[in-house]
Structure 1
Amino acid sequence: MTKRVVLLEEGTAEMKGLMGIKGAELAALLQAGWPVPAGFIVTKEGCRAFCTRLAHLSAEGTQEIGSAIQHLEQQSGKFFGDSLTPLLLAVRSSESSSRNTASHALLHVGLNDVTVEGLAKQTNDRQYALNCYRILLQDYGQLVYDIPYDLFEEKWEDISILDEAKLEFAIAEYKRLIEERGRHPFPQDVHLQLKEAMRAVFNETQGAAVLIQVMVNGERGDRSGFGTVYSRHPGTGERGMTGDYISTDASRRSNEGLDQLRNEESELYGLLQDACGYLESHTREVQEIQFVVDSGTLYLVEISEARLTSQATLRSTVDLVDEEVITKEDAILRIQPWHVTELLKASSTLSSELQLLLEWADEMKGLTILSNVDHPKDAVKARALGAEGIGLCRTEQLLLSASRFPFVQKMILADSEAERKRGLERLLPMQQADFEQLFEAMDGYPVTIRLLDPPLHELLPDIERLNERREQLALRKLEENNTEVQELEHVIHRVLELHEQYPLLGQQDCRLGTVFPEIYDMQLEAIFRAAVKGIRQGLWVRPEIMIPLVGHANELQVMRDLVDHVADQVLGEEKRHCLYRVGARIEVPRAALTAAPIARHADFFSFGTDELTQMTFGYSRHHTEKPFLHFIESQRSLPSNPFQVLDIDGVGQLVEMALLQGRIRKPHLKAGICGENAADPASIAFCHRIGLDYVSCLPEQVPLARIAAAQAALLAQKQYPNENRQDGDISTIA
């Protein structure tokens, strides 16, 4: 039968699953001869078995815990509940608290109206004993009955004054508050106290093992004190022990930090340094040690993995690799997403530690990390953050800027092809300049340019505003043959002609290029003109042209013929230096289901997971995101927002199916995803597993994606050690 109560001296470092992290580490320290207060662990199974539905300790539990307490009594020479020499206990979780949660603990368990007087005689300090009792009552009320600390503080006007009369009054008031709010009096039975403390800690930590230790006194007496040390600085990660120490010398209660301990108790200070080094070498983590000095004797009370800032995490991780405590692979696996995002928020540049970690990550990852850009300046930022090319340039963001949008509208509303071409001639040099800057920023790296893809209605003037303008002109009683009136009527007529009942399912993406081929002609001419200029300037230009919203192989074939035709016209003799690619944006389910015939005409697949998610689920990402998020959070109908974390079971299956079918037709077909969820670590792990070549994310997400891609590769190697992923230069295959 699995043990439900384990003495610390019986435990080992390998028993973390049974004893919890703290318990196992303290047990290992005790076994190695370090000074640790005696104690025992009540395991998860023990807590569940001992505390019944009515929260009473079972008879079996009473016996097992009673035996453990007797062992502590023998070691300490004190007795639990004794009126003369009371044994007091500290009850806390045996698991390390998370980054944003407090450590739940109850100290001085075993104090009551009788034993408090025994503690007063033991310490020859009744004021100290009463204050310990007051603290126990306050913490007990908060942890067991969730009574806010504020209510206790209302009973305690000036906490700086600790006379016996005031402490006795506070104790009486605290007990009254617990009985009123908790509907049960504070238990004078010390065994009931322990049971309630154990149950409360177990519940607060969602079922973690409970650590129970003998209380050691560092709060009073000569050569006594308490403090916390870190094996490295928790804020910066700097090497060397740091922390604080509060001496409780009656003549001068002070906080002079560790300097006082080093000067007055150099042997204990050295012992703490040795403990930090020992723990780091065994746990391979930066450690936090809470310690007590009791009359010149050091006790290591609690040890845990230190909670570090992002900066400290990265610096200490790099240093631990340098010291050969951990490997580069270990270093990459311990980096969390928030480490990277916090650092980048604090500074737009990469720290030396993050830069080094990213270099290590690049050596390990299989996926190529590209970036989505809306403007040439985004490309510069993406390269600075390590992007290996552009996976998606949204040309609509370039064309629909305030300075260019009027020209786009005028071109769309034109009555004739000749008039439309005149409008496009104004836009051509603007687009060419954009692409020239992109090719310059990404010299030698692929630049994937998505042709114009917004729905037609987004390019048209607002019909309601046009009608309002017509009403305003009517009020002015202008003649019908007035030029302004005629022009307005013409625009309204043209907008109504182009109006679509269901615009999101109408003329957009490659269908827009079919209806208005001159638009794509202009964009392609701008791309290839920019390519020619870049080549002649000595740049390695690698354009990859993405055809948006392909739903049928014939659509891609038509668009590919157009691309090749314009390329032949513009590139001329430079065509041999411009190995452009043409690919399909897979963002509707039909394209995923018919990937094999589409692959015949494609050099690459780009999975638009935002649109594919939208069309697969039937959610509108833009119009219902907030209600949707509220719905899934309140109803828990989905494990996560599929626009942020790829829906592997649904959308992911479409991606994997399309990839498989596409590569049956074209084995070296390049493929990747572009979407909001492209930087999510779980989504990146899925992309690595199914064999995609790249993910493309926002520039600021590139460092995070590089780390996540390396983690995905490392975890895959651990899970499938005999599988080798064949990696190549994804931009030269297909």
Structure 2
Amino acid sequence: MSNKFVYVFGPSKTEGAADMKDRLGGKGANLAEMCRLGISVPPGLTISAEVCTVYTEQGADAVRKLIESEVLQGVAFVEKEMGKKFGDAADPLLVSVRSGSRASMPGMMDTILNLGLNDEAVVGLTNKSGNERFAWDSYRRFIQMYGDVVMGLKPESKEDHDPFEVIIDEIKEKKGVELDTQLEVADLKHMVSEFKALIRNRLGREFPNNPWDQLWGAIMAVFQSWDNDRAKLYRKMNDIPDSWGTAVNVQSMVFGNLGDHSGTGVAFTRDAASGEDIFNGEFLVNAQGEDVVAGIRTPQQITLEGSRRWAQLAQVSEEDRRSKFPSLEELMPEIYQQLLKTETALENHYKDMQDIEFTIQEGKLWMLQTRSAKRTGAAMVRAAMEMLQQGLIDEKTALLRVTPDRLNELLHPVFDRQAVKSARSIAHGLPASPGAATGQIVFFADEAEEWVAKGKTVILVRQETSPEDLRGMAVAKGILTARGGMTSHAAVVARGMGKCCVSGAGSVRVDPKARTMTVGGKVYKEGDWVSLDGSTGQVYEGQVPTKDADLSGDFGKLMELAERYKRLAVRANADTPEDARVARNFGAVGIGLCRTEHMFFEGDRIKSVREMILAQDEAGRRKALAKLLPMQRGDFEGIFKAMDGLPVTIRLLDPPLHEFLPHDETNQREMAKEMGLSYEEIKNRVDDLHEANPMMGHRGCRLGITYPEITEMQARAIIEAALNCKAQGINPKVEIMIPLVGTVREFNAQAKVIRSTAEAVFAERKATIDFMVGTMIETPRGALVADSIGKQAEFFSFGTNDLTQMTLGFSRDDIGKFLPVYLKDGMYEQDPFQSIDQKGVGQLVQMAAQKGRSVRANIKLGVCGEHGGDPASIDFFHRVGLDYVSCSPFRVPIARLAAAQAAISNK
């Protein structure tokens, strides 16, 4: 650890910079950087993220002992900068205490504002500001936040409201008003008294009066919030290491709630939903920052253009817009111009879309934060390509700026326009995060998890979301809120997740206790279906059909750019001509895995497969296989046509035969009747095929060695299909793959059947076709002896699903029983079936690749397991030197971008 733990920032002295995020967190580093750029930032101090580790391992006492003297010096610096004393009752220096990890985690950790107030300081604040209402409103806000965040006073159940809000509502109800800004000073004083009594009665202790006690309590609470449930979940969802910790920022307060010449807001240098190069954001007059984020008041737009767009979506007349919701550009033109100049400077400096927070205090603009903005996948692509065109960034930066997995948002269907015309729109809100989502209404985050676990599709409906709703938001198809704007918690987090979100649908009345939402007098209950269009803000009744998304424009340009930089080719796992066409449209340059067994389940084919399995001898099996031959041949012809000129790797039959037979008595009896056999005959055959561990039993090449006529039929179907296509002017590139090989003798036995069958077909047809024979490396032994196998095989394709299963000894079917515990306890950093275990399974891949190339320099090496579509795994496969990866058709663009990023990052 370093010897310095506290870094100050302000106009006279700044100790940090943007490149110190590891130590100061994103917020602290960027506050320091803004100071260096000459931007007006309230002075403060940042406690290093290293201290968070001390808190986690040793506790609060050790932290205070470690940093107390530096914190005292830091506060003294802020006092000098602001000309105020912390704890001075006559003219108190008030501070905010905020979290700040090196990775942005919006709303996941805790914040306390107005710290330093007590019964004496609120009088001093009144005298200095000349605004008694402001002083007491600030005091009640502080008690409410501190009581919740630091002292832990929470609702007693999920159905209960915030106990502080209950008191506010009761006072408002007695006064007959809707907004707390209409409350009188006497009401606010009463509220403060009630808040303190609530804390005393519920927690059994007094609200702290000493500002220094308040400060240390807040600092420790922020460190503690690094390990709250929502922060841990967010880190898991976004691959943020637990070891990073959070810094703590203690910053002098500036006030947006000092009257009509004050305000606060959040803005984006570009549209975070679409990526459009337009400055946008929301603000509130006479408010503090949490009012905007929480969405408890209807926010106003910063720009005139944004205000007019909002009014059109919200169906607000131009007259009402000007009088009730004027833009900052209209209301405070000089402040707007300063803000516009600042946002331009920040984007040009960071060369990335920025999310900025600001406060206006009595006509002076203060910047409170800037960070790389959370954005949708569509916005990532558009912003990256437009910044490239504008000369802000280069091609490599543009490619690295887009997170590969976020392309997934652009690849899936959107609402069919014709279907939308006939759909019943029941409400409209703000298009907070684009996309289409259809699901059943649920009102609580934990119940959303439960419903999804049962296979249901849900829309999470809330009055407004809070960070505690993160789990439900993560599993929901879409999010609908009655309150909040484009910068509310729901909107920001949904965009970060790539979730469809409609926020601020004011006509929706949510009653969580009754589990209903009411729109236009109609009541919708939990379980009713609704559809959300996050691109327009429309809410539709029932289920609305979808259609494929358009992948041209900026998306197409990004893919073209990726092609210029990537080295790894990207193929697709496809078993049908339709899958092959989809894959090719997405840019796949071949098929890396065609699973022939998937073809056996279609239509009447399963009957012929079962005849083959039930046959008593080779002659019976051949008779059944003869029925399958034309079906398989037709399948392969369709795939070769779809992939004309591109390689197609066809895997011979792999799964154990028992998978093609029913295992329950009802279906066995039905099959017996269909096959003209007795139930006992079927049952006995099923029993004969039973294996204790079928995935490591009679399957793969073992089937072909036991029953070579199966391999013979499949080889004939493949070769005949290729010859038929060649005769039609199509260029089939055939690669036949033998599965589950562990010894060269297994490979040779199957390769002999394939090649002799091909020669027989060539003689019959008096025509030939080039083809390759290779193997799937999916057993540890196959990897270990890859040099001997490589002398015979023309290509290796790593089946990393089974290779992971056999190497780790983990069953894919049973891993769910213990993997969550393993991940939670750090036994593994990620699910090894989703991202390859580089230190274990990865080493086998690397070894096999080296051994294969040592005996056959031109051997083709690829991956066809699920890891072929995982960006982190693709980076590893690039470094190992493989030739291609293969993944599902809809992950092909993701893999293409990841391959380009791997090439750039590993140069």
Other-structure match for 1:732:
none
Is the 1:373–1:698 contact (alpha carbons within 8 Å) kept by the matching residues of 2? yes
Question: Which structure: larger Rg?
Answer: 1
Aligned-partner SS, 1:285: coil
Corresponding residue to 1:2 among 1, 4, 9:
4
Aligned Cα root-mean-square deviation (Å): 3.1
Is the 2:94–2:117 contact (alpha carbons within 8 Å) kept by the matching residues of 1? yes
Aligned-partner SS, 1:121: helix
CA distance in 1, matches of 2:143, 2:208: 10
CA distance in 1, matches of 2:817, 2:778: 23
Other-structure match for 1:729:
none
CA drift of 1:445 comes to 0.7
Other-structure match for 1:511:
702
Other-structure match for 1:315:
382
Distance change (3 Å), C-alpha of 1:402 and 1:50: closer
CA distance in 1, matches of 2:149, 2:634: 65
CA drift of 1:136 comes to 0.5
Other-structure match for 2:191:
170
CA drift of 1:377 comes to 1.3
Other-structure match for 1:440:
641
Corresponding residue to 1:257 among 301, 308, 313:
301
Aligned-partner SS, 1:177: helix
Other-structure match for 2:797:
606
CA drift of 1:543 comes to 0.7
CA distance in 2, matches of 1:662, 1:593: 10
Deviation larger for 691-700 or 644-653:
644-653
CA distance in 1, matches of 2:675, 2:648: 44
Aligned-partner SS, 2:169: coil
Unaligned runs of 5+ in 1: 474-482, 718-734
TM-score, structure 1 as length reference: 0.88
Is the 1:57–1:195 contact (alpha carbons within 8 Å) kept by the matching residues of 2? no
Distance change (3 Å), C-alpha of 1:225 and 1:589: closer
Other-structure match for 2:363:
296
Corresponding residue to 2:632 among 431, 436, 451:
431
- Per-residue Cα deviation, 1:298-335 (whole angstroms, up to 9, x for no partner): 11122222222222222111111112222221222232
Is the 1:5–1:46 contact (alpha carbons within 8 Å) kept by the matching residues of 2? no
CA drift of 1:21 comes to 2.6
Aligned-partner SS, 1:689: helix
CA drift of 1:102 comes to 3.7
Structure 2 residue 576 is matched with structure 1 residue 375: yes
Letter aligned with residue 7 of structure 1: F
CA distance in 2, matches of 1:490, 1:526: 31
Deviation larger for 628-637 or 72-81:
628-637
Corresponding residue to 2:595 among 369, 382, 394:
394
Aligned-partner SS, 1:116: helix
Structure 2 residue 837 is matched with structure 1 residue 647: yes
Structure 2 residue 27 is matched with structure 1 residue 27: no
Other-structure match for 1:153:
165
CA distance in 1, matches of 2:360, 2:33: 21
TM-score, structure 2 as length reference: 0.72
CA distance in 1, matches of 2:719, 2:65: 84
- Per-residue Cα deviation, 1:553-603 (whole angstroms, up to 9, x for no partner): 122112222222222232359898732110012222222222122112211
Aligned-partner SS, 1:226: strand
Structure 2 residue 339 is matched with structure 1 residue 272: yes
Other-structure match for 1:65:
71
Structure 2 residue 746 is matched with structure 1 residue 569: no
Deviation larger for 445-454 or 187-196:
187-196
Distance change (3 Å), C-alpha of 1:518 and 1:34: same
Deviation larger for 150-159 or 392-401:
150-159
CA distance in 2, matches of 1:546, 1:370: 15
Other-structure match for 2:214:
193
Letter aligned with residue 692 of structure 1: L
Other-structure match for 2:862:
672
Aligned-partner SS, 1:232: coil
Is the 1:411–1:423 contact (alpha carbons within 8 Å) kept by the matching residues of 2? yes
Is the 2:5–2:70 contact (alpha carbons within 8 Å) kept by the matching residues of 1? no
Q: How does 1:451-530 map to 2 (within 5 A)?
A: 451-460=652-661, 462=663, 503-530=694-721
Deviation larger for 63-72 or 353-362:
63-72
- Per-residue Cα deviation, 1:626-667 (whole angstroms, up to 9, x for no partner): 324345346543333222222222222222222222211111
Letter aligned with residue 424 of structure 1: L
CA drift of 1:215 comes to 1.5
Aligned-partner SS, 1:239: coil
- Per-residue Cα deviation, 1:461-498 (whole angstroms, up to 9, x for no partner): 6495698689x99xxxxxxxxx9997666656666666
Structure 2 residue 120 is matched with structure 1 residue 114: yes
Letter aligned with residue 219 of structure 2: M
Distance change (3 Å), C-alpha of 1:254 and 1:76: farther
Corresponding residue to 1:421 among 622, 647, 671:
622
Is the 2:797–2:864 contact (alpha carbons within 8 Å) kept by the matching residues of 1? yes
Distance change (3 Å), C-alpha of 1:295 and 1:156: closer
Letter aligned with residue 750 of structure 2: M
Aligned-partner SS, 2:878: helix
Other-structure match for 1:558:
749
CA distance in 2, matches of 1:199, 1:173: 26
Is the 1:367–1:695 contact (alpha carbons within 8 Å) kept by the matching residues of 2? yes
- Per-residue Cα deviation, 1:91-142 (whole angstroms, up to 9, x for no partner): 2124466356446321111110111112222233322211211111111122
CA distance in 1, matches of 2:349, 2:105: 22
Aligned-partner SS, 2:269: strand
Q: How does 1:577-656 map to 2 (within 5 A)?
A: 578-622=769-813, 624-633=814-823, 636-656=826-846
CA drift of 1:538 comes to 1.5
Is the 1:421–1:518 contact (alpha carbons within 8 Å) kept by the matching residues of 2? yes
Structure 2 residue 659 is matched with structure 1 residue 657: no
Distance change (3 Å), C-alpha of 1:195 and 1:517: same
Deviation larger for 498-507 or 113-122:
498-507
Letter aligned with residue 366 of structure 2: Y
Unaligned runs of 5+ in 2: 156-161, 173-178, 228-244, 288-296, 305-326, 415-547
Is the 2:41–2:366 contact (alpha carbons within 8 Å) kept by the matching residues of 1? yes
Distance change (3 Å), C-alpha of 1:178 and 1:560: same
CA distance in 2, matches of 1:311, 1:675: 28
CA drift of 1:10 comes to 1.9
Is the 2:655–2:695 contact (alpha carbons within 8 Å) kept by the matching residues of 1? no
Aligned-partner SS, 1:156: helix
Deviation larger for 385-394 or 681-690:
681-690
CA distance in 2, matches of 1:417, 1:57: 77
Is the 1:89–1:108 contact (alpha carbons within 8 Å) kept by the matching residues of 2? yes
Distance change (3 Å), C-alpha of 1:49 and 1:642: closer
Corresponding residue to 2:223 among 199, 202, 213:
202
Corresponding residue to 1:227 among 242, 246, 265:
265
CA distance in 1, matches of 2:106, 2:73: 36
Is the 1:600–1:665 contact (alpha carbons within 8 Å) kept by the matching residues of 2? yes
CA distance in 1, matches of 2:701, 2:53: 61
Other-structure match for 1:41:
46
CA distance in 2, matches of 1:272, 1:54: 40
Letter aligned with residue 14 of structure 2: E
Other-structure match for 2:736:
545
Is the 2:9–2:31 contact (alpha carbons within 8 Å) kept by the matching residues of 1? no
Deviation larger for 427-436 or 554-563:
554-563
CA distance in 2, matches of 1:292, 1:674: 53
Other-structure match for 2:348:
281
Other-structure match for 1:726:
none
Is the 2:60–2:220 contact (alpha carbons within 8 Å) kept by the matching residues of 1? no
CA distance in 1, matches of 2:869, 2:723: 33
Other-structure match for 1:131:
137
Other-structure match for 2:395:
328
Deviation larger for 140-149 or 687-696:
140-149
CA distance in 1, matches of 2:117, 2:675: 91
CA drift of 1:670 comes to 0.9
Letter aligned with residue 136 of structure 2: L
